[in-house]
Structure 1
Amino acid sequence: MTMQRPERGWRGTPDLWLEAAYDLLVEGGVDAVKVMPLAERLGLSRTSFYWHFPDREALLARLVDRWREKNTANLLARCEAPAGTIAEAMLNLCDCWLDGDLFDSRLEFAMRTWSLTDPEVARAMAEADSVRIEAITALFRRFGYDETEADTRARALYLTQVGYIALRSEESLELRLHRIPAYVLTFCGKAPTPEEVAAFRARHLAPA
Structure 2
Amino acid sequence: MSGRRAAFSKTTPAAGHRTHMVGRTPKNTVQDWIEAAQRTLVDEGIAGLKVDRLANRLGVTRGGFYHNFKDRDEFFDQIIAHWEATCRFLPEEAPPPKAGDAVEWLDRMIARLIESDGYDYHFDLAVREWARADKRAEWAVERADRERLEVLQRFFEALGYDDNHAAIRARVFYYHQIGYYAIGVRQSIPERRKNAQLYVDILCGEEALSAARAAALKNRKAKAA
TM-score, normalised with respect to structure 2 = 0.75
Matched letter for residue 179 of structure 1: N
Of structures 1 and 2, the larger Rg is shown by 2
**Structure-to-structure mapping, 1:20-99, within 5 angstroms:** 20-72=36-88, 75=90, 77=92, 79-80=94-95, 84=100, 86-99=102-115
Match of 1:100 in 2: 116
Q: Distance in 2 between matches of 1:54 and 1:144?
A: 50
Q: Deviations over 1:8-55 (max 9, x none)?
A: xxx621111111111111110111011101111111111111111111
Assess if the C-alpha contact under 8 Å between 2:94 and 2:151 holds in 1: yes
Match of 1:4 in 2: 24
**Structure-to-structure mapping, 1:1-208, within 5 angstroms:** 4-5=24-25, 12-72=28-88, 75=90, 77=92, 79-80=94-95, 84=100, 86-190=102-206
Q: Distance in 1 between matches of 2:122 and 2:196?
A: 20
- Kindly report the root-mean-square deviation, in angstroms, between the aligned alpha carbons of the 2 structures: 2.5
Matched letter for residue 130 of structure 2: W
Q: How many matched pairs?
A: 189
Q: Deviations over 1:125-166 (max 9, x none)?
A: 111111110100011112322111111111110000110121
Matched letter for residue 31 of structure 2: D
Gaps of 5+ in 2: 1-19, 217-225
Higher percent of residues as helix: 2
Gaps of 5+ in 1: 197-208
Q: Distance in 1 between matches of 2:83 and 2:92?
A: 15
Deviation at 1:76, TM superposition (A): 5.1
Q: Distance in 1 between matches of 2:94 and 2:191?
A: 24
Deviation at 1:86, TM superposition (A): 4.8
